[in-house]
Structure 1
Amino acid sequence: MNSLLLSQKTDLLLPIKQWLESREISQPNVARLLCRIIPASCPFEQEIKLFNRTIAYIPPLCKLNPFYDQIVAIRFKSLCYLANECNEDITLYC
Structure 2
Amino acid sequence: MNLLNKVRLNNSLLNQIKYRLEVIEIHDYNLAKLLCKVIPSHCPFERTVKILGRTLFHIPPLCKINPLYEQFVGLRFKCLLYLVDVCGEDATKYC
Secondary structure, aligned partner of 2:56: strand
TM-score (norm 2): 0.87
Secondary structure, aligned partner of 2:12: helix
Question: Can you give the 5+ residue segments of structure 1 that lack an aligned partner in the other structure?
Answer: none
Secondary structure, aligned partner of 1:49: strand
**1:35-91 CA distances to partner (integer Å, 9 max, x unpaired)?**
001110001000001222211111111111110000000000000000000000111
Distance in 2 (CA, whole Å) between partners of 1:49 and 1:90 is: 32
TM-score (norm 1): 0.88
2:31 partner amino acid: V
Distance in 1 (CA, whole Å) between partners of 2:40 and 2:11 is: 25
Percentage of pairs with the same residue: 49
Other-structure match for 1:90: 91
Which 4+ residue blocks in structure 1 deviate beyond 4 angstroms?
Answer: 4-9
**What is the Cα deviation at residue 6 of structure 1?**
6.4
The number of equivalent residue pairs is: 93
Distance in 2 (CA, whole Å) between partners of 1:15 and 1:7 is: 12
Aligned-residue Cα RMSD (Å) equals: 1.9
